Amino acid sequence: TEELMNDYSGSLSEITLIPSSGGVFEVKVDEELIFSKKQLDRFPNEGEISTLIAEKQLLKNADGTCAPC
């Protein structure tokens, strides 16, 4: 969460951590799943979540639905 706050402090309105069990680690942006440890059978690499968020923001900006994100 610290990495995300540093990278996106001006554009993230909320970061929510939801405790779970069974080894589930999922990251959603705007209710869209962008990373799932359960599906990929691995934890994210360093910086991977930030990269996925940046890619999602670029896609939103490209289709005009979010400017700026």
SS (H, E, C) the chain: CHHHHHHHCCCCCCCCCCCCCCCCCEEEECCEEEEEHHHHCCCCCCCHHHHHHHHHHHHHHHCCCCCCC
pLDDT at residue number 62: 66
Lowest mean pLDDT among 16-20, 58-62, 63-67: 63-67
Q: Is the pLDDT of residue 64 over 60?
A: no
pLDDT at residue number 69: 46
5-41 pLDDT tens trace:
788 777 777 788 888 888 889 998 888 999 999 999 9
pLDDT at residue number 67: 46
pLDDT at residue number 66: 53
